[in-house]
Amino acid sequence: MKNAVFFDRDGVINRPVVRDGTPHPPEDASQFDWMEGVHGTLEILRNRGYLLFVITNQPDVARGTQSRAFVESLHQRVRAELPITAIYTCFHDDVDGCSCRKPKAGLIYQARGDYSIDLSSSWVVGDRWRDIEAGRTAGCRTIYVRHGYRETPAHGYDQEIDRLSQLLTWIR
């Protein structure tokens, strides 16, 4: 069994677009910018033997305000520039009732099946309560990246950080 780190995308891998205190995905390629320290942090984790995954909700596709092709183009850039093993995306909205939309753990379970992952020795890193809940449901340890959004905060996480490089203290 392998160990993994699962990262949310917007707010963890790349900077979110924050409007009225709420995070949103980039609307176009010009708004896509890496979070500080993401390249070096992920490289260190890969060198420590972790498989690295992005698990992301992209409901704007279901809502018709973002194209799947655009989301996939951003993911091509992520795969090209970061040592990511795979990206798992939920394109549904809450009303769809799917098992892959966080806070459900479907994306994590899919990666577990595809890569023989030991979830009890793996981590989920997220900036919203949905990420943390998905990780807890799957039996992973969790790290909350605090950004101070004006929304329901995460709770029940194992560690809290202000910047991505701090997770290296916890994920050894």
Q: Give the residue numbers marked as catalytic.
A: 8, 10
Distance CA 94, CA 165 (A): 32
Please report where in the chains the tokens 């992520």 appear, as a residue. Answer: 78
Distance CA 8, CA 19 (A): 19
Of 165, 160, 157, 164, nearest to 140 by C-alpha is 157
* Tokens found for residue 37: 């320290």
Segment holding 88, helix H or strand E: strand 86-90
Read off the amino acid at residue 13: I
Q: Give the β-pairing of 4-7 and 17-19.
A: unpaired
